[in-house]
Amino acid sequence: MKIDVSSVKALTFDVFGTVVDWRTSLIEEGMQFGKSKGIKVDWAKFADAWRGGYAPAMDRVRRGELPWMKIDALHRMILDQSLNEFNLVGLSEAEKDHLNRVWHRLKPWPDAISGLERLRKRFIVSTLSNGNISLLVNMAKNAGLPWDCILSAELVKHYKPDQEVYQMAAELLDLQPDQIMMVAAHNGDLKAAKSVGFKTAFVRRPLEFGPSADKADLMPDPSVDVSADDFNDLADKLGV
Which stretches of the chain bind its own copies, using CB under 8 A? 70, 72, 120, 124, 126, 132-134, 137, 140-141, 148-150, 154-155, 172-175
Identify the DSSP state of 173: H
Least separation in angstroms between residue 215's CB and its own copies is 36
Question: Between 46 and 159, whose beta carbon lies closer to its own copies?
Answer: 159
3-state secondary structure of 6: coil
Nearer to its own copies, 43 or 159 (CB): 159
Contacts with 48 (C-beta within 8 Å, 6 or more apart), sequence order: 23, 209, 210
| Closer Cβ to its own copies, 155 or 218, answer by number | 155
Nearer to its own copies, 165 or 224 (CB): 165
* Cα–Cα distance, 165 to 32 (Å, whole number): 36
Q: Are 99 and 120 in contact (CB under 8 A)?
A: no
Using the minimum distance from each CB to its own copies, give the nearer residue, 120 or 191: 120
DSSP state for residue 226 in the 8-state scheme:
E
Q: From CA 121, how far away is CA 117, in angstroms rounded?
A: 7
Q: Which of 62, 56, 18 is nearest to 234 (CA)?
A: 18
